[in-house]
Amino acid sequence: MRLLAQYCIVMQDLSILPPMKPITRAPGAAGAHFLSMTDLDGPALEGLLEAAAELKSGGGFASLDRQPLAGKSVALIFDKPSLRTRVSFEVGIAKLGGITTTLTGGEVGLGSREPVEDIGRTLSRYVEAVVVRMLDHEALAALAGASDAPVINALTSHEHPCQALADLLTLRERLGPLAGRQLVYVGDGNNVCHSLLLGGAALGLHVRVAAPPGHEPSPAVVDEALELARASGSRIEVVHEPRAAVGGADAVYTDVWASMGSEHEAAQRRRTFAGFRLTYKLLAAAPDALVMHCLPAHRGDEIDAEVLEGPRSVAFDQAENRLYVQQAVLLHLLEGRRAGLRPMPFPAQLDLALASARAGQR
């Protein structure tokens, strides 16, 4: 296996890819929005996962009469189809006492009926937070830059941070502390792969990506992950041989080969990715590894049905955990703004909100 562990080698090997324009970060106070995994540093990310775990266990607001989002409204904009993202946000917000207004991209006319900046300015006059699922990451950043309310990235072509949070929570539940563990991602270096690289690097989780030539993660994201890894001790690798890549893995992850926006390439990608399907034969080098998939899954393409449905699969645990990490993100942003227009680090913020809720019961 040819490991591209060194930054200079990674960049040389990825030179066949077209240069990518750096992603624009939304202006404003740090932590005002959640557009990227890099909006949370390692300690904040650890704290958010701890808060999500507490919410899931029933030790959080689920066991209290007082609902922290009571009287608060959240706008959900879906420019692309959604099952897990939409339902987990709508249900999660309702369980915390908030209300949602859900709109399709066609109803809003993202960037066509009016500029995205005007959408951000308008919605932030009505609601306390805005959740957006759209492909154009630059447009999302522009919307967030104009919004006085926190904006949450529910998926763009560049990142899928809410999914990665659920994945990291699932790994934490099964493996304990993530530092030093090995996650192997097999397949297309897409938005999910990007968020896993950045989140893993921040937490000290080793992340190895096995992708066909020309389908590696963005060099800019690899660069950013390597920078984070220098501080956390994480090991970031990009390789092209899936069989060797899975050796020693604690978890093996895959996603669809033709993500939203590249469906027209599905036939060609089936040929290109033929050796990257998660089969029990491929996983033989990691007999105890967890099997992960963000769903929806195309059985017979990126993963065999028997693997997805097998005892090592945690795909539906990942789907369930979307609910709790998204609740934690909303509380992180909204409770922090109430306390001083800037999110406080977890778990201190959660403890404060829990104490306030309990006091309200007396």
Active site residues: 133, 160, 163, 255, 294, 322
Strands of the 129-133 sheet, one edge to the other: 99-104, 73-78, 129-133, 151-155
**Nearby residues of 200 by Cβ (< 8 Å), 6 or more positions away:** 168, 178, 183, 206, 207, 225, 234, 236
Cβ neighbourhood burial of 311 (10 Å; 0-12, 13-18, 19+): exposed
Residue 332 to residue 345: CA distance in whole angstroms: 8
**Nearby residues of 276 by Cβ (< 8 Å), 6 or more positions away:** 186, 187, 210, 211, 212, 242, 254, 257, 302
Greatest alpha-carbon pair distance for the chain in Å reads: 64
Residue 143 to residue 141: CA distance in whole angstroms: 5
Residue 73 to residue 93: CA distance in whole angstroms: 9
Determine contact, residues 123/149, Cβ cutoff 8 Å.
Answer: yes
Q: Using alpha carbons only, what angle is made at residue 188 by residues 143 and 271, rounded to the nearest 5 degrees?
A: 135
Determine contact, residues 240/215, Cβ cutoff 8 Å.
Answer: no
Determine contact, residues 85/139, Cβ cutoff 8 Å.
Answer: no
Q: Between the CA atoms of 309, 315, 319 and 321, what dihedral angle is there, to the nearest 10 degrees? A: 130
